[in-house]
């Protein structure tokens, strides 16, 4: 019986009895006694109903109490999204575990007896910590970090299970957190290095012009033109960094404008014609048949075309040809084949997969930029599109660049639910392909 039920019963019974006695002894008329009993009964009922809302929920039961009530540890484990398992005091066997732990510990096949922890767990640090916890007086608890392989990092939380003498181990994957921290540190190191290099050159020339070459006015022109080049390099780098951060911060804002992909490609290619002529590279743009519109940010797509075509020009020699083609395919897979899988014996790599938010059979527009340059060695392919990654660093660094161009392209294509791929044949050329879904009939402005 709850407290409020008891209060209610006592109140009603006591007042009922008092009224009855008063009525029987003649101190109170029967009508008055009945009215008073009715009023007090109504007040008691109001208390009973009103106090229900004030009732506090029952406190959560500790694990031990729940176990006594028959709730198995396995139920707790299976509700945990992290790998978790129980190690018995007796022979240190893994007596229960959840599905993520089965994957982590590779506990696939059925076994007749629970396996020993030492036979299953490959991290010596974890085994040692479990051992230490068992040896501690009254079972200890511990928290350790461990590296598994060159890349993975995990944290293990070991706690005694009350009442059983066993231990519970919960594992937490720290790999993504550590990877993000490393990427941030790498990015800062690279960015400051890239900025410091031209700055060092500029301040070196200023020193020379103030000191040893103070009177040598003839060489000043040469120094100034080198300094101008370095300044230009720095402002290009800052512009690229700003553009990357702008694209990243707008990543979740979907483009809305309806644009003509063919027009964007054509005007961007035209803008690069002087650069190509200066180098003696022939730019060939195969005019596409009518292309469907795309839902896009025009400036961003111009950046994609300019980065890919300027790379093709940069890595070509005089007399080479750079060919730009575009078209439309039935879906993203067909578009990737057209854009970056045209040469039979090429090395191929998809640098950005089409987002899974794109429906199957969604008509897809593609562009291919093909050159006759030196090609890219196979080992570099997976890392293209990483910020500051340059494949030709080892070739003596004659061609300058910061390695941000493809990172920008990759981000923009992700923003447009598109993809990016490359194919290359050493000594014969490279082709980069991009694709993005065509706008639906009723979509866009
Ligand atoms: N068409 C190509 N042919 C050969 N190598 C290429 C080609 N395009 C890109 N690469 C390689 O990929 C690397 C990354 O290209 P990315 O455009 O990101 O940087 P970058 O051109 O060096 O510098 P920038 O930031 O000025 O564009 C280049 O350094 C180069 O080694
Ligand atoms: Mg580039």
Beta bridge partners of 153: 147
Strands across the sheet with 419-425, in order?
Answer: 282-286, 321-329, 364-370, 429-437, 419-425, 347-352
Query: Cα(388) to centroid of ligand 1, in Å?
Result: 10
Ligand nearest to the CA of 315: 1
Which ligand sits closest to the CA of 403?
A: 1
Residue 438: strand pairing partners: 294
pLDDT score recorded for residue 109 = 62
Q: How far apart are CA 262 and CA 282, in angstroms?
A: 20
pLDDT, greater one: 65 or 340: 340
CA distance 46 to 429: 88
Question: How far is the centre of ligand 1, averaged over its atoms, from the C-alpha of 240 (Å)?
Answer: 14
Structure tokens at 41: 């009964």
How far, in Å, is the centroid of ligand 2 from the Cα of 370?
14
In this prediction, residue 340 has a pLDDT band, given cuts at 50, 70 and 90, of very high
Instruction: Tell me which fold the domain 255-437 belongs to.
Output: Heat Shock Protein 90 (3.30.565)
Instruction: Report the atom number in ligand 1 closest to the C-alpha of 385.
Output: 18
CATH 3.30.160.40 fits domain 65-173: no
**238: which residues sit within 8 A by CB, 6+ positions away?**
195
CB of 292 closer than 8 Å to CB of 438: yes
Lowest mean pLDDT, pick from 37-41, 60-64, 142-146, 195-199: 60-64
Q: Strands, E, within 281-410: which ranges? A: 282-286, 293-295, 321-329, 347-352, 364-370
Contact 304, 312 (CB under 8 A): no
Residue nearest (by alpha carbon) to ligand 1 atom 28 = 390
Site residues for ligand 1, CB cut-off 6 Å:
240, 307, 311-312, 315, 371, 373-374, 376, 384, 390-392, 401-407, 430
Give the integer Cα–Cα distance in Å for 114 and 135: 21
Q: Which residue has the higher pLDDT, 359 or 142?
A: 142
| Nearest CA, atom 17, ligand 1 | 405
Give the per-residue pLDDT at 398. 64
Strands 142-148, 94-97: parallel, antiparallel or unpaired by DSSP? unpaired
Interval 207-254: pLDDT, tens: 999 998 888 888 899 999 999 999 998 999 999 999 888 888 887 888
d(CA 101, CA 99): 5
**Domain 179-247 adopts which CATH fold?**
Helix Hairpins (1.10.287)
Smallest-distance ligand from the CA of 236? 1
| Model confidence pLDDT, tens digit, residues 245-274 | 888 888 788 899 999 999 999 999 999 999
The pLDDT of residue 442 is 57
Report which of 419, 428, 420, 410 is spatially closest to residue 346, judged by C-alpha positions: 428
Q: How far is the CA of 34 from the centre of ligand 1 (A)?
A: 98
Per-domain residue ranges of the chain? 3-54, 65-173, 179-247, 255-437
Rounded Cα–Cα distance for residues 369 and 424 (Å): 12
Tell me, in angstroms, the distance from the centre of ligand 1 to residue 416's CA. Answer: 22
């Amino acid at each position: 019986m709850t407290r409020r039920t008891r209060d209610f019963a006592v109140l009603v019974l006591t007042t009922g009895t008092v009224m009855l006695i008063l009525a029987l002894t003649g101190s109170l008329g029967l009508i008055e006694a009945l009215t008073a009993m009715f009023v007090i009964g109504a007040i008691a009922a109001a208390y009973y109903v009103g106090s229900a809302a004030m009732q506090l929920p029952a406190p959560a039961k500790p694990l031990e109490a729940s176990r006594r009530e028959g709730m198995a540890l396995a139920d707790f484990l299976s509700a945990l999204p992290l790998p978790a398992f129980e190690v018995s005091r007796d022979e240190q066997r893994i007596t229960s575990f959840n599905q993520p732990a089965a994957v982590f510990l590779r506990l696939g096949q059925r076994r007749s007896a629970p396996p020993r922890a030492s036979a299953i767990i490959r991290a010596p640090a974890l085994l040692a910590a479990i051992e230490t916890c068992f040896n501690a007086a009254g079972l200890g608890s511990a928290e350790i970090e461990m590296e598994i392989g060159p890349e993975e990092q995990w944290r293990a939380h070991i706690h005694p299970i009350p009442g059983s003498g066993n231990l519970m181990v919960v594992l937490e994957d720290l790999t993504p957190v550590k990877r993000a921290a490393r990427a941030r540190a790498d990015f800062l190191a690279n960015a400051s290095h890239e900025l410091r290099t031209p700055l060092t050159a500029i301040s070196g020339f200023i020193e020379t012009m103030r000191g040893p070459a103070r009177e040598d006015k003839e060489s000043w022109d040469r120094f100034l033109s080198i300094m101008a080049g370095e300044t230009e390099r720095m402002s290009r780098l800052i512009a690229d960094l700003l553009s990357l951060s702008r694209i990243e911060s707008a990543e979740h804002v979907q483009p809305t404008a309806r644009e003509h992909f063919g027009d964007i490609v054509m005007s961007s290619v035209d803008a690069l014609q002087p650069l190509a002529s200066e180098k003696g590279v022939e730019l060939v743009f195969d005019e596409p048949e009518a292309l469907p519109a795309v839902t896009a940010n025009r400036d961003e797509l111009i950046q994609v075309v300019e980065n890919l075509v300027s790379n093709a020009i940069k890595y070509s020699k005089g007399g080479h040809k750079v060919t730009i083609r575009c078209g439309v395919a039935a879906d993203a897979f067909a578009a990737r084949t057209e854009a970056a899988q045209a040469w039979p014996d090429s090395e191929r790599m998809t640098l950005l997969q089409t987002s899974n938010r794109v429906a199957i059979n969604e008509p897809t527009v593609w562009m291919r930029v093909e050159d006759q340059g030196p090609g890219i060695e196979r080992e570099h392919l997976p890392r293209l599109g990483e910020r500051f990654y340059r494949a030709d660093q080892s070739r003596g660094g004659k061609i300058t660049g910061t390695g941000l161009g493809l990172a920008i392209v990759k981000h923009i294509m992700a923003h447009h639910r598109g993809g990016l791929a490359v194919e290359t044949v050493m000594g014969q050329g490279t082709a980069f392909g991009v694709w993005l879904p065509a706008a639906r009939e009723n979509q866009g402005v």
